[in-house]
């Protein structure tokens, strides 16, 4: 009987130790905010991409090549051509997804940006984004941020 309990204990520990460790939503949010801060606010794109993006990073923005190197090249070229300032207004996380609401200012124009990231095994693996210029006149006084 003791041997059966010992065997069950060994099997249980072995099975539990092989399960992947999933980060919680807060960990994913922290990771994405650190990436965004370094890559898009501090403009240290290459270091941020190497630290936080998976090698097979999937990009859904039609203006940026897919892959980690594609993001490095795309953002570096953008920053060289455009004077832009970004600030995170809010960050929301659910499971493997993190959403950032961002204020982007460039050339006297302000845009409201939504970035959506998917995180897997402690790396950003996928990204989507949409942006909308903040109009001078709005049908309300609520603002966009």
What are the sequence ranges of the domains in the chain? 21-133
Predicted confidence pLDDT, tens digits, the chain (145 residues): 666 555 455 655 554 544 445 579 999 999 999 999 999 999 999 999 999 999 999 999 999 999 999 999 999 999 999 999 999 999 999 999 999 999 999 999 999 999 999 999 999 999 999 999 999 999 999 999 9
pLDDT recorded at residue 19: 44
Q: Indicate the pTM of the whole model.
A: 0.83
Q: Kindly give, in sequence order, each residue whose CB lies less than 8 Å from that of residue 19, ignoring residues fewer than 6 positions away.
A: none
Smallest Cα–Cα separation from 118: which of 50, 54, 44?
Answer: 54
- Report how far residue 115's alpha carbon sits from residue 38's, in angstroms, rounded to the nearest whole number: 15
CATH class, 21-133 region: alpha beta
């Amino acid at each position: 009987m003791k041997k059966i309990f010992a065997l069950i204990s060994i099997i249980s520990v072995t099975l539990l130790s092989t399960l992947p460790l999933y980060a919680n939503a807060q960990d994913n949010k922290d990771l994405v905010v650190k990436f965004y801060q370094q890559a898009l606010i501090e403009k240290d794109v290459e270091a941020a991409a190497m630290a936080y993006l998976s090698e097979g990073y999937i990009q859904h923005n039609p203006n940026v090549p897919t892959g980690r190197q594609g993001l490095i090249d795309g953002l570096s070229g953008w920053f060289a051509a455009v004077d832009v300032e970004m600030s995170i207004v809010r960050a929301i996380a659910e499971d493997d997804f993190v959403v950032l609401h961002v204020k982007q200012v460039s050339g006297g124009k302000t845009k409201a940006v939504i970035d959506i990231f998917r995180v897997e095994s402690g790396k950003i693996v996928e990204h989507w984004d949409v942006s909308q210029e903040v109009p001078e006149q709005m049908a309300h006084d609520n603002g966009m941020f």
